[in-house]
Chain A
Amino acid sequence: MIWQLDLAILTLVIVCAIAAITVKDLLATAILFGAYSFMMCLLWSIMAAVDVAFTEASVGAGVSTIFFVAAVFRTTRRTKD
């Protein structure tokens, strides 16, 4: 485990998480959640939990992002708050 790489990815995870709850555009939120999941996937693979990383990449970064985009497509792109 290289701690510099670990720290950089952890920072990106936190940045993605904060950005996902602050942006007003819900489509951007869906994409940021995808980026968040991908960073988590990298963290899992750094920690040698490859099965979890695989699940995170396919479910978190892949299919759930598509579900979010489909839901945004059928509702609205702007949040109220």
Chain B
Amino acid sequence: MKKLALLIVILSGGLLLYATKDFPPWGDPHSPASMHVSPRYLMKSLEETGVPNVVTSILADYRGYDTMFETTVIFCAGIACFMLLRKFEAQSKDVYYRHIPTGITIHVKGGKQIPPTSKEFEKIDAIWTPYDLIINTVSRFLVPFIQLFALYVIAHGHHSPGGGFQGGVILGASIIVVAIAFNLRTAIKRFGEKIDGIMSALGVFIYSGIGAICVLLGAEFLNYGTLARILPVSKIMARSHGILGVEIGVGIAVMAVMVCIYNNVASEGKHDEGL
């Protein structure tokens, strides 16, 4: 059976390699794809949308439906992860604490616990207890810069590579850094589950809401040009601002979904202790 599978894999791989021979060479200006569609976008996108980065204008304007449903797919992935993994169980009875001034670990049994407002003791995980001052301090200093870079990536997607997806992933990663360097409870205390769920839905809502506003103003769904009737700008700049609006929506949704998936996977859905 294994040999048969190997044979099939080699055969189909050989067929794929054979088919690549008929591909046009890389960057060939006479290939069918570069003859009809691409020149139209390369010539017209700047004067039609006012966005110098052609990739952004195609993703968010000319192919706006695709990006909207990609965002919806990511939202559905977050919801599916939540539904499959999340467990609303009582916390475990055995709790471990670290006495901060001396570093001694104590083990409290039988459902009793030290009040969380205590300055002397902090709760630690039962199975994964690394504690390193250098990592904690460096990540605490690094997180604001990561988030600032993520906002730059979202806002500057018109002029340079980047946009909602990449910026949203970097924003989510900055919260995951907190969860890895400290522990999962610290990250959830900063960015709670309720606000996470609301934001993942809010991102999709912003995207489709901007499309719906265009319909209300009497144009097609996601035709940002018509936003010029409520924004004090020209039609071309209105398309540019519409692209910025949907990129912000994508960024919010992607960030919240990344954090949701990480929290549920790393803690088996219990949200008490994780990686």
A residues near B (Cβ < 8 Å) are 1, 47, 50-51, 53-55, 58-59, 62-63, 66-67, 69-71, 73-74
CB <8 Å contact, B26 and A54: no
With A47-B26, A63-B258, A66-B262 in contact, is A58–B275 under 8 Å at CB?
A: no
B265 close to chain A: CB less than 8 A = yes
Nearest residue (CB) in B for A57 is: B166
Residues of B in contact, count (CB < 8 Å) = 25
Contact partner of A70 (CB less than 8 A), chosen from B55, B161, B173, B274, is: B274
CB <8 Å contact, A62 and B173: yes
Complex CA–CA separation, A59 to B56 (angstroms): 18
> Which B residues touch A53, using CB under 8 A?
161
> Which B residues touch A69, using CB under 8 A?
275
CB <8 Å contact, A73 and B275: yes
> Which A residues touch B274, using CB under 8 A?
70
Complex CA–CA separation, A66 to B177 (angstroms): 10
B residues near A (Cβ < 8 Å) are 26, 53, 55-56, 128, 153, 161-163, 165-166, 169-170, 172-173, 176, 180, 258, 261-262, 265-266, 268, 274-275
- Inter-chain contact total with CB atoms closer than 8 Å: 52
* Nearest CB of B to A29, in Å: 16
Complex CA–CA separation, A64 to B261 (angstroms): 10
> Which B residues touch A63, using CB under 8 A?
169, 172-173, 176, 258, 262
Nearest residue (CB) in A for B127 is: A73
User: Can you report 19 A-B residue pairs in the complex whose CB atoms are below 8 A from each other?
Assistant: A47-B26, A51-B161, A51-B162, A51-B163, A54-B166, A55-B165, A58-B166, A58-B173, A62-B170, A62-B173, A63-B172, A66-B173, A67-B261, A67-B262, A67-B265, A69-B275, A70-B266, A71-B265, A74-B266
Complex CA–CA separation, A3 to B56 (angstroms): 29
- Quick one: which of A54, A59, A62, A69 has the most chain B CB within 10 A? A54
With A50-B161, A51-B161, A63-B176 in contact, is A70–B262 under 8 Å at CB?
A: yes
